[in-house]
Amino acid sequence: MAVSGSRMLRYAATPASRVGRHLFWWTLFVGFEYLVFSQWQQQPVVTWGFVLKDTVAAVASYYFFSLVLLPRFLLRRRWLLTALGMGAIYYFWALLCYVCFTLFDHYNLISKDAYEYMHRFLDGSLWEGVFSWRSVSMGLSDFAVTIVPPILLRFIQFLLASSNQSLRLQRENLTLEVSFLKAQVNPHFLFNTLNNIYTMVVKQDERAPDMVAHLSHLMHYTVYESDAALVPLSQEVGFLEAYLELERLRYGQKVTISYHKADLPHDYRLTPLLFFPFVENAFKHGVDSSLDASWVAIKLTAEAEQLHFEVSNSLAPAAPSRAFGGVGIANVRKRLALHYPAQDYQLTIQAAPDTYRVTLTLRLQPPAPAGSPTAPPPLAEAAPPQVIPLAGRP
């Protein structure tokens, strides 16, 4: 089924498919015109003459609008030229009507029922029958129901396609931003972590293998596992814990890290990498050499399907004011707005003289059904690394 659907989508984008769709819709237009004019009970040549006249005018007007007026004038806000173009479309149709009615009159094909209708345009000169205000006022109603609908449908189609393209570009841009977010594991952080691991290896510190495992977990998650639209909460929490352990290794006793989690429905799912920018910024702004005791506190709890995430950090009262967040936080805001309805999340950022706090309440998605493509495959090789207990706040 998936292969068949993919083939149909590829065919729908081919020129042959587009030509086929246009032919189909114009065939429907011809059928509708014939249904309307056949009710006049005229001779077949008159009926088909009306159909041919309106079809030629509608087809020419549709493609003139699509290929000239819309891209060259309307989209460039050249309103006067657009209005002149629509006027040219009307007068082209009016001239076709005049020529068609003249031929019918010349060969005495006009019946008594249609005589009055056609001679509204034929009485008088060409100017009076086509260009005069009297002729325009009589012809606009027929023009509006015959030529305008295809043009209007084309404009609506353009608006919908533009909206879809804008949404697609927004999603692609967001995907690029997410990729950038994944690459935001600070090079200085990696350098310091690897340097500390090297020192521990030289000193034969028994914690070194665990730290390597945590770093490996961090890299594996950002590169491979976070590509999915939704990931199990357990994976996001595991990534967060691995990151906290690496920061604990980096800062040692200089920073008190408090981490608390309780009652988490680990099989429930959420958008990946929502917590990381907030925690990273907490360490970036919460660790200050002017403080006697810097600290970062993270709390994760859940109630029903609501996840409550809170991260707070110390601030030096005398420190210069710095913008909190930057690209990473703005990225999370946009991802939340795109992936979650407004009623499904609440993000609050509070600043105090000595504390910065971020609170995120989020509605979790139910677990993926067994065998679903979105369900994560079971780990086949190594067990997840053992997390070293974090130092609590005094």
**Domains in the chain, number:** 2
Nearest to 310 by CA among 266, 345, 357, 247: 357
Residue 175 vs residue 59, higher pLDDT: 59
Domain edge (last residue) among 163, 196, 219? 163
| Single pTM value for the model | 0.52
Q: Is residue 188 domain-resident?
A: yes
Indicate whether 65 pLDDT > 80: yes
Q: Please check whether residues 80 and 216 belong to one and the same domain.
A: no
- Alpha-carbon gap, residue 67 to 81, rounded angstroms: 14
Q: Find the range with the poorest average confidence among 46-50, 154-158, 270-274, 378-382.
A: 378-382
Q: Is residue 126 domain-resident?
A: yes
Show the domain range for 323: 183-363
Element (H, E) at 305: none
Q: Is residue 315 domain-resident?
A: yes
Q: Please check whether residues 119 and 196 belong to one and the same domain.
A: no
Tokens of 251: 């800062």
Q: Find the range with the poorest average confidence among 83-87, 229-233, 338-342.
A: 338-342
- Alpha-carbon gap, residue 14 to 325, rounded angstroms: 45
Indicate whether 172 pLDDT > 80: no
Q: Please check whether residues 149 and 268 belong to one and the same domain.
A: no
Q: Please check whether residues 55 and 115 belong to one and the same domain.
A: yes
Indicate whether 19 pLDDT > 80: yes
Mean pLDDT, residues 243-263 taken together:
86
Q: Is residue 379 domain-resident?
A: no
Indicate whether 151 pLDDT > 70: yes
Q: Is residue 24 domain-resident?
A: yes
Tens digits of residue pLDDT in 295-316: 999 999 998 889 999 999 988 7
For residue 57, what are the CA distances in angstroms to 33, 88, 89, 184? 12, 11, 8, 58
Q: Is residue 381 domain-resident?
A: no
pLDDT at residue 324 in the model: 54
Q: Please check whether residues 45 and 130 belong to one and the same domain.
A: yes
Domain edge (last residue) among 128, 163, 198? 163
- Alpha-carbon gap, residue 301 to 265, rounded angstroms: 9
Q: What is the β-pairing status of strands 255-262 and 306-314?
A: unpaired
Q: Is residue 392 domain-resident?
A: no
Q: Count CB neighbours of 383 within 10 A.
A: 7
Task: Residue 293: give its domain's CATH number.
Answer: 3.30.565.10
Tokens of 9: 């989508």
Which alpha helices (DSSP H) does the chain contain, by range?
2-12, 15-38, 44-64, 79-106, 112-122, 126, 133-146, 148-182, 187-202, 208-223, 233-251, 276-286, 327-339
Indicate whether 391 pLDDT > 80: no
Q: Is residue 177 domain-resident?
A: no
Which phi and psi (to 5°) does residue 307 adopt?
A: -100, 135
